[in-house]
Structure 1
């Protein structure tokens, strides 16, 4: 029987991940730490003079297509998972970075001439990095518009509480700092801090690892690159 893995990713991002985990022989529990909401956008999207779109998450793609039928823009994606979502919804000119906001800034710098128009960034209310700051010396006009929200959940599912209390969880997957922060908050609320001593934390980035570092784990593992594929490789390595 395979190791029991707790997936903390939002439901919107979990279908491919959970299918892959099951195919690799793991058992699964799910406790999404964030709920994704797509609020109304009564004034539409501000696309006048835009030469390309920036997507820093698959939810950014979902939010854009929720509000617009236009698929003619070139798109620059933070990583391959986001790029696959962009292709799935109908975009054809797609450029992908290596999964990190700094890699995306470099891709924009190499691929885009700032004189040809603005870049539109459909984003969450809270973002992990500021592309405008990273590219401030290159005179890019990055037009960020809030089109979705990632809302921390208030509770852990009963089956997850029971599994943590019984020390049955072998590893927890963390894909974002906000997901990690939400998990830490709930673990403390339910007084489960001492029930993770045999559990591994598998982290997408150092920023994620920093957030879960306030809890005591059996081991923390860091993906070599901030992509789902490398995170799953870190998970496999944890049990090798």
Structure 2
């Protein structure tokens, strides 16, 4: 019988400098959370069938990331209401016809990859999400780098490789974020991908704070 997964409250949300994380998200569109999952939690999650056991983590992350979401929405002149509590936010999702879970554990084998994508389908989209690596890039697989691209106005796309190690997580922009230029704020479009796995199996986690249509 499979042992139960560890309860999400043990995760070290309080161990990180969230002011620094906010600055990194504003500057780069992503921020690394090293050692987010313990070795035991990482192993158990890597063997799980879905990310449903981490449902209790969503409201905790929502509260941490809510100030950033509101600041970004204001800068982009978006009229998206982000309520104080996650339960009310989920009701906004249901009212918008968004009931499909987007969080998932992904397993990519040799020659598999994830093409460029973004989870921005719907009227109630939270602009930040969590991604994590649940297998060891030194032992379990090669290749499979987590890649983000940003498209800035009148500029070529900028690729970024996130330096994820086993058990690490990162908060990333889901689709759009504001960037302050010399004269004004402009809109940057972000997408994410996973490069081709050359050997072994890569196991990763995506945790979204909104649901899909």
TM class by shorter chain equals: under 0.3
Greater share of residues in helix = 1
* TM value normalised by structure 1: 0.23
Q: Larger RCO: Structure 1 or Structure 2 (Cα < 8 Å, ≥ 6 residues apart)?
A: 2
TM-score, with structure 2 as normaliser: 0.25
